[in-house]
Amino acid sequence: MRETAFAKINLALHVRGRRGDGYHELETLFAFVDEGDILAARVAERDALTTLGEFAEGLDPFDNLVAKALAVLPRPGGLAITLEKNLPVAAGLGGGSADAGAVFRLVRERYGLPEGWRKRAAKLGADVPACVESVTAIGRGTGTELERADDSLAGTPVLLINPRRPLATGPVFAGWDGVDRGPLPDGDARTIALQGRNDLQSIAIALCPVIAEVLGALRDTTPWLARMSGSGATCFALYGHEGARDTAARFMQAQRPDWWQMTGRLR
């Protein structure tokens, strides 16, 4: 069995308030790129995990969401999973959550999912329920209250750029000033993306200034939208056609070969 852990991006991310449990009230528009980590699985006597790929060394073996996802999903047999880690770690792409979401899909394909699987997914991380479905959706609350959004952006060419600087989520959220700047706008997914914002972007730039350089470089390639994803440091750009995206990718590679990049389409 084989699954792609689709890279998650936040087309808009509005922070609305702090909660007593340490989390934040959010409104976000999730979207997913048709590329990401790759999970291959086979039936085995017991669960097992092997990691490889460019970013495998950045994974914490004691805090791996693939293993945690396997642990919360009862099954009559084990799964031996090989994870090809293509997405950078601590990058605002929900890489660990996407990996967990892919595990849920693998288990669903082989055994079916137990009742209450969404609660099991949410306990692993606020992005995990969205990553299980990996479709454009509006997330509220901590991001676990999902509402399916329209798929009008499906097929949109996207370029992801990360400066190879990990950025932990905690310090970025801790820097939020507590000001509620308003809800997501109404409209289709394109309207929400264009009129929305990422309330964490300026905080992340203060902690990791190279993000501003990434955004400036992306905007120079004339996408119809360039923004930071999640709590950073990955930024994305959306284009009207593949030719514009591919030209931008070649330009970015020539200018900054040290930056990580990935091209794809929104699902």
Task: Supply the residues annotated as catalytic.
Answer: 8, 127
* Cα–Cα nearest to 10, from 178, 184, 221: 184
Distances in Å between the Cα of 264 and the Cα atoms of 49, 121, 159, 232, 261 are 27, 26, 7, 19, 10
